[in-house]
């Protein structure tokens, strides 16, 4: 299934255009200095006629990249382009405050071969983290799925989530992590407030509740909503390390199975509504289901940051803040760990 974002995804377009027989180049931001409009790892896809989609900057720089890319398509040879502007002309060409960027332009074929590109898109589509290691001189690229053996620079990228030049400066590692997702167990008032907040913060949201009186389109219009038991839904919509789960039905018959699945899947955040006494009873039930005390200790309970929340909307704010903190602090901890282990 495709969505509006997929329709303009440069990597999916690069694959589709190549499969249509069009000659294609892929431009990638590999380094920035100062204030640059697009982050490292951003893509622009260009065909032999100068048709393009995506973005690596904006203004005159974008046009220059397209022109160079058409030449790269014709020659088959990769190029690294450098752009920098003085402060007085920065806004005119789309590089604010004197920003500078370097852009790699490679072909789909001689550089990133179509088989590797297709594998990258397939893995990413199944919420697998993927890294692409590209030789800057030749444009040739290798794709690695998370968990596969690879160079230290690739291993570090999986841990930190940061796309960057390799330590030797000769290669570029682009990391593609799945976007964060929030699974909410319980189509309650808190969920009605939490879903739009989460989507504004960049999370896709799924609401699961077997109670058909709660899980109705009237209460959750336009929301990914499933009126079924979590243990029946989650095998079809599997959890992963890039997913947060919030169990807020306050009903152990519904919440417990979902909490167990989230802990076993390694979700980066697992939270459960209820008082400390309620959670003590929950701990006993989860231990009876075979979960270890160490695993159960990962549950944020009572759910959310302690901000004195009282209304459903305030509780939703506290839950989302807790989830974002878990996501960002995990990245900090993993980055520090990676810096201490990679290359040791």
Question: Residue 249 CB: number of other CB atoms within 10 A?
Answer: 25
Q: Which of the listed residues 141, 160, 176 is the one where a domain comes to its end?
A: 176
Which residues constitute the domain of residue 91?
Answer: 4-176
Please check whether residues 214 and 111 belong to one and the same domain. no
**Positions of E strands within 209-309:** 224-226, 243-247, 269-272, 299-300
Residues 160 and 256 in one domain: no
What pLDDT shows up at residue 38? 82
Contact criterion met (CB below 8 Å) for 245 and 267: yes
Return the DSSP state at 127.
T
Please give the tally of structural domains in the chain: 2
Strands (E), the chain: 24-33, 43-47, 52-54, 79-84, 100-107, 130-135, 141-145, 164-165, 171-176, 181-185, 204-208, 224-226, 243-247, 269-272, 299-300
Q: Is residue 342 part of a domain?
A: no
192 and 324 in a single domain? The answer is yes
pTM: 0.78
Residue 185 and residue 170 in one domain = no
Residues 193 and 246 in one domain: yes
Do residue 25 and residue 127 come from a single domain?
yes
Torsion angle of the four alpha carbons 267, 269, 275, 281, in this order, in degrees rounded to the nearest 10: 20
- Per DSSP, what are the bridge partners of residue 300? 271
Residues of the chain with pLDDT under 70: 1-6, 35, 58-60, 85-98, 330-344
Strand-pair category, 100-107 with 24-33: antiparallel
Residue 244: which CATH number? Answer: 3.40.50.720
Say how far apart CA 205 and CA 238 lie, in whole Å.
Answer: 13
Residue 128, H or E segment = none
**172 inside domain:** yes
* Residue found by looking up tokens 């968990």 in the block: 147
121 located within any domain: yes
| In a domain? residue 340 | no
End position of a domain, from candidates 176, 202, 217: 176
**130 and 30 share one domain:** yes
Smallest CA-to-CA distance from 14 within 69, 64, 58, 57 is with 69
Percent of the chain residues past pLDDT 90, beyond the cut: 80
157, 172: one domain: yes
Domain boundary pick from 115, 145, 176: 176
Phi then psi for 121, rounded to 5 degrees? Answer: -65, -40
Tokens of 140: 């040739």
- Tell me the three-class secondary structure of 103-119, residue by residue: EEEEEECCCECHHHHHH
Residue 344 lies in a domain: no
Residue 16 falls inside a structural domain: yes
Angle at 160 between CA 158 and CA 166, to 5 degrees: 75
In a shared domain, residues 156 and 195:
no
How much is the pLDDT for 2? 43
Contact call for residues 190 and 312 (beta carbons, < 8 A):
yes
* 286 in the same domain as 252: yes
Q: Indicate if 11 and 146 belong to the same structural domain.
A: yes
Helix (H) or strand (E) holding 309: none
Classify residue 296: in a domain, yes or no: yes
Residue 334, in any domain of the structure = no
Q: Are 79 and 115 in a shared domain? A: yes
Q: How far apart are CA 138 and CA 153, in angstroms?
A: 18
Alpha-carbon distance 100 to 62, whole Å? 13
Buried b / exposed e along 231-240 (16+ C-beta atoms within 10 A): eebbeeeebb
């Amino acid at each position: 299934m495709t969505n509006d974002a997929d329709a303009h995804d440069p990597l999916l377009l690069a694959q589709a255009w190549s499969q249509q027989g069009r000659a294609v180049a892929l431009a990638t931001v590999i380094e920035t200095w100062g204030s640059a409009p697009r982050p490292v790892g951003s893509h622009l896809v260009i065909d032999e006629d100068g048709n393009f989609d995506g973005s690596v900057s904006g203004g005159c720089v974008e046009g220059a990249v397209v022109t160079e890319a058409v030449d790269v398509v014709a020659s088959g040879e990769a190029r690294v382009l450098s752009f920098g502007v003085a402060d007085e002309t920065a806004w005119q060409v789309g590089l604010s405050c004197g920003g500078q960027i370097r852009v790699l332009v490679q072909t789909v074929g001689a550089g990133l071969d179509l088989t590797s590109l297709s594998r990258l898109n397939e893995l990413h589509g199944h919420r697998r983290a993927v890294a692409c290691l590209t030789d800057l001189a030749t444009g040739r690229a290798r794709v690695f799925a998370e968990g596969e053996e690879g160079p230290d620079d690739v291993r570090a990228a999986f841990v930190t989530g940061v796309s960057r030049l390799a330590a030797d400066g000769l290669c570029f590692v682009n990391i593609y992590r799945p976007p964060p997702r929030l699974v909410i167990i319980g189509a309650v008032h808190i969920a009605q407030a939490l879903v739009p907040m989460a989507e504004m913060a960049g999370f896709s949201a799924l609401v699961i509740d077997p109670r058909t009186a709660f899980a109705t389109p009237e209460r959750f219009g336009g929301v990914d909503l499933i009126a079924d038991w979590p243990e029946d839904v989650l095998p079809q919509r599997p959890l992963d390390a890039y997913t947060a789960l919030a169990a807020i039905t306050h009903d152990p018959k519904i919440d417990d199975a979902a909490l167990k699945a989230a802990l076993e899947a390694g979700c980066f955040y697992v939270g459960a509504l209820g008082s400390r006494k309620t959670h003590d009873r929950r701990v006993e039930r989860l231990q009876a289901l075979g979960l270890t005390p160490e695993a159960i200790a990962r549950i944020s309970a009572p759910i959310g940051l302690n901000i004195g929340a009282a209304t459903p909307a305030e509780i939703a704010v506290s839950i989302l803040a807790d989830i974002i903190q878990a996501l960002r602090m995990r990245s900090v901890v993993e980055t520090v760990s990676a810096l201490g282990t990679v290359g040791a």
